[in-house]
Amino acid sequence: MIAWRAGVVTECRARWDGACESTVALDGDGGTVRALSYPHLVGELVPGARVMLNATALLRGLGTGGYALVVARTDALVPDPLPRPGHLVKARYTPLQAMVLGVDDQESPHHAVLRDADDLAGLPVVVADLHSALPAVVAGARVAAARAGRAAPRVAYVMTDGGALPAWFSRAVDGLRDAGWIDACVTTGQAFGGDHEAVTVHTGLLAARHVVGADLVVVAQGPGNLGTGTRWGFSGVAAGEALNAAAVLGGLPVASLRVSGADARERHLGVSHHSLTAYGRVALAPAHVVVPALPPDLPGTPRDLMADPDPGAWSALADRVAAQAATLTAPAGRHRAVTVEAGTELLDALRGTPVRLSTMGRGLDADPAAFLAAAAAGAYAVTATGD
């Protein structure tokens, strides 16, 4: 069920591509809340506008960034959109379903290219569990390309629908695009709001190659992550399916491990059980699993060794990660292990990202292993071959 609230916009605050943050005074002396609207769905808001809000996740303290979400203006109808091509309906059969032009739509200028497209021709596809890995993967890719004397790769981000559905919610996508770090966002499944829309992850990957002309693809869910503390009940399980899609289309599937040295939950310490399940049980096609070689002198101390600040703490975490990753790779598993140095060069690259790094509320200094693992995957992907 939905917790509804109504109120009046008192201030229009931050804006980024496709999204607007406002302050709303709630009816009935309910105080004020930060509200997020998507102008492409509900129109532009101005001070004095009356709005209907969905406050369900806000009241439960869930991961919406502390926002109530604007459902509609109630004082004025938004004008109908101008007639345009496209018949893909996203957020289907919900009150906010919207029609978009899919890159694979019959009315799309790219339909002829994608109609029979069936091959990624070895295009490297880095798959990650969490949206927070995106800037780190790209940072690693850029530094590795520079080291090899090559231009920065043309990057397409293929966003799956396990987290936020609107790509507009992501400030990372907006900032990375503005900085020239990603060239296009392709939203797939029920996700929407990308530079290109696609029906499935498969057509999203094909669009990355044949429409965007990408040298590198990063696949991850949008911001947010649904987990239940069970082996199978988490939205990141789709990472395994994305590796399968990359493989069946002839791409080079690269698995980015979800790693943490600071998570208070044992199941996420070292290599998260999310990676072990998605890559070990769901991904049936062989992939390249990138294992970060963590140096012994990273900032901070891994959580499980904080009571004993041993100089070898990071080495112990690195050993833990290697042992956990070994369950995924030959001879124990179906995947190929690739060890990548995750030291000062990658750490410096991460410090230079144009967007804020944050995963599960922790920044780079609080959990460097998380971002170094993703950066290592990006670094490997730009110079990898299918051998």
What pLDDT does 25 receive? 95
What pLDDT does 308 receive? 53
Question: Strands 124-127, 252-256: parallel, antiparallel or unpaired by DSSP?
Answer: parallel
Tell me the C-alpha distance between 159 and 220, whole Å. Answer: 5
Which parts of the chain sit beneath pLDDT 70? 63-65, 300-301, 303-311, 385-387
What pLDDT does 223 receive? 94
Amino acid type, 368: P
Distant-in-sequence, close-in-space partners of 77: CB < 8 Å, separation ≥ 6: none
Name which of 96, 181, 103 is nearest 138 in CA terms.
Answer: 181
Tell me the C-alpha distance between 15 and 178, whole Å. Answer: 14
What pLDDT does 64 receive? 62
Phi, psi of 105 (to 5 degrees): -65, 150
Is residue 364 a contact partner of residue 260, using CB atoms and an 8 Å limit? no
Tell me the C-alpha distance between 19 and 222, whole Å. Answer: 15
Tell me the C-alpha distance between 322 and 335, whole Å. Answer: 14
What pLDDT does 311 receive? 60
Name which of 6, 59, 47 is nearest 23 in CA terms.
Answer: 47
pTM: 0.92
Structure tokens at 369: 């292993």
What pLDDT does 310 receive? 64
Tell me the C-alpha distance between 72 and 242, whole Å. Answer: 34
Name which of 135, 213, 124, 224 is nearest 174 in CA terms.
Answer: 135
In the beta sheet, which residues pair with residue 20?
15, 37
Residues in the chain: 387
Distant-in-sequence, close-in-space partners of 316: CB < 8 Å, separation ≥ 6: 302, 305, 310
Structure tokens at 170: 């992501």
Question: Which residue carries 């030959």 as its tokens?
Answer: 330
What pLDDT does 57 receive? 87
What pLDDT does 360 receive? 87
346-367 pLDDT, tens digit each: 999 999 999 999 998 889 988 9
Q: Which of the 8 DSSP states describes residue 192?
A: B
Amino acid type, 2: I
Q: 40: part of which helix (H) or strand (E)? A: helix 39-42
In the beta sheet, which residues pair with residue 53?
5, 70
Is residue 143 a contact partner of residue 351, using CB atoms and an 8 Å limit? no
In the beta sheet, which residues pair with residue 86?
none
Tell me the C-alpha distance between 96 and 160, whole Å. Answer: 19
If DSSP codes are grouped into helix, strand and coil, which group holds residue 216?
Answer: strand
Is residue 67 a contact partner of residue 171, using CB atoms and an 8 Å limit? no
Instruction: Let me know the angle formed at the C-alpha of 312 by 310 and 314, rounded to the nearest 5 degrees.
Output: 110
Tell me the C-alpha distance between 314 and 98, whole Å. Answer: 48
